[in-house]
Chain A
Amino acid sequence: MGIRFILMVNKQGQTRLAQYYEYLTIEERRALEGEIVRKCLARTEQQCSFVEHRNYKIVYRRYASLFFLVGVDNEENELAILEFIHLLVETMDRHFGNVCELDIMFHLEKAHFMLEEMVMNGCIVETSKSNILGPIQLLEKAS
Chain B
Amino acid sequence: MGSQGGFGQSKEFLDLIKSIGEARSKAEEDRIVLHEIETLKRRITEPDIPKRKMKEYIIRLVYVEMLGHDASFGYIHAVKMTHDDNIHLKRTGYLAVTLFLNEDHDLIILIVNTIQKDLKSDNYLVVCAALNVVCKLINEETIPAVLPQVVELLGHQKEAVRKKAVMALHRFYQRAPSSVNHLISNFRKKLCDNDPGVMGATLCPLYDLITIDVNAYKDLVASFASILKQVAERRLPKSYDYHQMPAPFIQIKLLKILALLGSGDKKASEQMYTIIGDIMRKCDSTSNIGNAVLYECICCISSIHPNPKLLESAADAIAKFLKSDSHNLKYLGIDALGRLIKLSPEIAEQHQLAVIDCLEDPDDTLKRKTFELLYKMTKSSNVEVIVDRMIDYMININDSHYKTEIASRCVELAEQFAPSNQWFIQTMNRVFEHAGDLVNPKVAHNLMRLIAEGFGEEDDTADSQLRSSAVESYLRIVVEPKLPSTFLQVICWVLGEYGTADGKYSASYITGKLCDVAEAYSTDDTVKAYAISALMKIYSFEIAAGRKVDVLPECQSFIEELLASHSTDLQQRAYELQAILGLDANVATNIMPMDASCEDIEIDRSLSFLNSYVQQSIEKGAQPYIPEGERSGMTDVSSFRSQELHEVSSHALRFEAYELPKPVMPSRVSPIEQSSSNELVPAPEPSYHAEMHQVASSVPSVSDTGSLELKLKLDGVQRKWGRPTYSSAAPSTSNADIPKIQNGAPQLDAVSSSSSKAVSYDSRRQQVEISAEKQKLAASLFGGTSKSHKRQSSGSQKVPKTNIPAAEKSHVAKNATSDTAVLERTPQPPPDLLDLDESTVSSSAQSLDPFKQLEGLLDLNQDTSTLTTSDASASGAPDVMSLYGETTLNVQSGGVPNLLPAGRDEANLLSGLAGTPNRDGHGENTVTNPTQQLNKGPNAKESLEKDALVRQLGVTPTGQNPNLFRDLLG
Contact = CB atoms under 8 A, between A and B. Distances in A.
Contacts of B331: 48, 50, 78
Interface string B148-178: 0000000000001001100100110010000
Contacts of A10: 963
Contacts of A48: 327-328, 330-331, 363, 365-366
A139 B271 CA distance: 45
Contacts, number: 255
B390 to A, nearest CB: 16
Given A46-B327, A130-B239, A93 B969 contact: yes
B301 to A, nearest CB: 14
B279 interface: no
Interface in B200-241: 200-201, 204, 237, 239-240
Contacts of A89: 968-969
A3 B88 CA distance: 27
B942 A79 contact: no
B184 interface: no
Given A52-B402, A62-B858, A135-B160, A125 B968 contact: no
A102 B859 CA distance: 19
B365 A52 contact: yes
Chain A: interface residue count, which band? Answer: 35 or more
B26 interface: yes
Contact of B968 (A50, A54, A100, A143): A100
A47 B325 CA distance: 10
A41 interface: no
Contact of A121 (B91, B167, B879): B167
Interface in B85-117: 86-89, 91-92, 95, 99, 102-103
Contact of A54 (B62, B401, B861): B401
B239 A65 contact: no
Interface in B48-89: 59, 62-63, 65-70, 86-89
A93 B365 contact: no
B908 to A, nearest CB: 11
Nearest to A19: B99
Given A10-B963, A48-B363, A97-B939, A65 B861 contact: yes
Interface in B429-447: none
Contact of A95 (B2, B92, B167): B2
Given A52-B365, A102-B964, A82 B68 contact: no
A126 to B, nearest CB: 6
Contacts of B858: 45, 61-63
Contacts of A15: 66-68
- Which of A10, A13, A49, A99 is the most central at the interface, judged by chain B CB atoms within 10 Å of its CB? A49
Given A98-B940, A101-B963, A55 B68 contact: no
B249 A127 contact: yes
A51 B290 CA distance: 22
B2 A96 contact: yes
A23 B201 contact: no
B29 interface: yes
Contacts of B910: 90
Contacts of B861: 65
Interface string B237-248: 101101100011
**Which one of A50, A83, A107 has the greatest number of beta carbons of chain B within 10 Å?**
A83
Interface string A55-71: 10000011111100000
A91 B288 CA distance: 18
Interface in B641-688: none
A43 B240 CA distance: 33
Interface stretch (B17-25, B479-487, B597-605, B840-848): B17-25
B529 interface: no
Contacts of A12: 23-25
A120 B295 CA distance: 24
A63 B968 contact: yes
Contacts of A80: 248-249, 252, 289, 292-293, 296
A100 B17 CA distance: 14
Interface string B1-20: 11100010100001001001
Interface string B176-213: 00000000000000000000010011001000000000
B328 A101 contact: no
A126 B103 contact: no
Contacts of B955: 102
B860 interface: yes
Contact of A126 (B24, B197, B291): B197
Contact of A14 (B23, B86, B204, B860): B23
Interface string B790-817: 0000000000000000000000000000
B385 to A, nearest CB: 24
Nearest to B72: A26
Contacts of A93: 968-969
A30 B869 CA distance: 42
A90 B969 contact: yes
A116 B499 CA distance: 67
A120 B401 contact: no
B428 interface: no
A121 B70 contact: no
Contacts of B20: 14, 105
Nearest to A42: B364
B239 A128 contact: yes
Given A61-B858, A123-B204, A77 B295 contact: yes
Contacts of B414: none
Given A80-B252, A83-B248, A106-B3, A121 B296 contact: no
Contact of A97 (B125, B200, B201, B943): B943
A80 B248 CA distance: 8
Nearest to B198: A125
Interface string A101-130: 111011111101100100011011111111
Name the residue among A13, A112, A130, A134 with the largest chain B CB count within 10 angstroms: A112
Nearest to B331: A48
B128 interface: yes
A96 B858 CA distance: 20
B59 A109 contact: yes
Given A47-B366, A51-B364, A98-B943, 14 more contacts: A50-B331, A51-B365, A63-B969, A79-B291, A80-B292, A82-B328, A83-B288, A83-B292, A101-B965, A109-B91, A112-B95, A123-B167, A125-B200, A135-B128
7 contacts: A46-B327, A83-B288, A100-B966, A100-B968, A106-B7, A116-B132, A131-B160
Interface of B: 1-3, 7, 9, 14, 17, 20-21, 23-26, 29, 59, 62-63, 65-70, 86-89, 91-92, 95, 99, 102-103, 125, 128, 132, 135, 160, 163-164, 167, 170-171, 174, 197, 200-201, 204, 237, 239-240, 242-243, 247-250, 252-253, 256, 288-289, 291-293, 295-296, 299, 327-328, 330-332, 362-366, 368, 401-402, 855, 858-861, 879, 881, 909-910, 939-940, 942-943, 946, 950, 955, 963-970
The 7 nearest A-B residue pairs measured at CB: A65-B963, A64-B966, A143-B88, A123-B204, A79-B292, A63-B968, A30-B68
